[in-house]
Amino acid sequence: MKLLPSLAAGFAGAVALTALHETARRLRPHDAPRMDVLGERGLRKILRLADLPQPAEGVAYTATMLGDILSNGLYYTLVGSGKHSLPRGLLLGAVAGAGGVLLPGPLGLGEAPSNRTPQTQAMTVAWYTVGGLVAGAVARALRQRRP
């Protein structure tokens, strides 16, 4: 696995995922997944456990967006730069989407942001899958450009 192409592909997938989430939450406020809300809850929970001060709302949102892009980018880097990057992206994206639906409740972050309706659940899985596919497609394109 080549590190720089893998990182580029991973972060392309993360940016695509975040753009989908942010666009949809503005266009479909009633049933779009609110992963930003889950991220803020997670951030606040970690800070509370570490007995650190809570950030202001705008600061928490910005930190959450940066954290989402960083963590999802590193996750999608696992797509790699090898021959099977597209199917690997599909699989990693679908697994991340399923985790986005199934894990928030048990982690104490609440279920509504990713489980509110069947459409919310479907969008959560679909968008993480799209992020994985974007990472796989970028990895494939970068691999084909190499001499």
- Please report where in the chains the tokens 């991340």 appear, as a residue: 96
The domain total for the chain is 1
Contact criterion met (CB below 8 Å) for 2 and 139: no
Round to whole Å and give the CA distance between 100 and 103. Answer: 6
pTM over 0.85, yes/no: yes
pLDDT in tens, 84-106: 999 999 999 999 999 999 999 99
- Please report where in the chains the tokens 């982690």 appear, as a residue: 107
Contact criterion met (CB below 8 Å) for 13 and 72: yes
Contact criterion met (CB below 8 Å) for 103 and 41: no
Domain that holds residue 42: 3-145
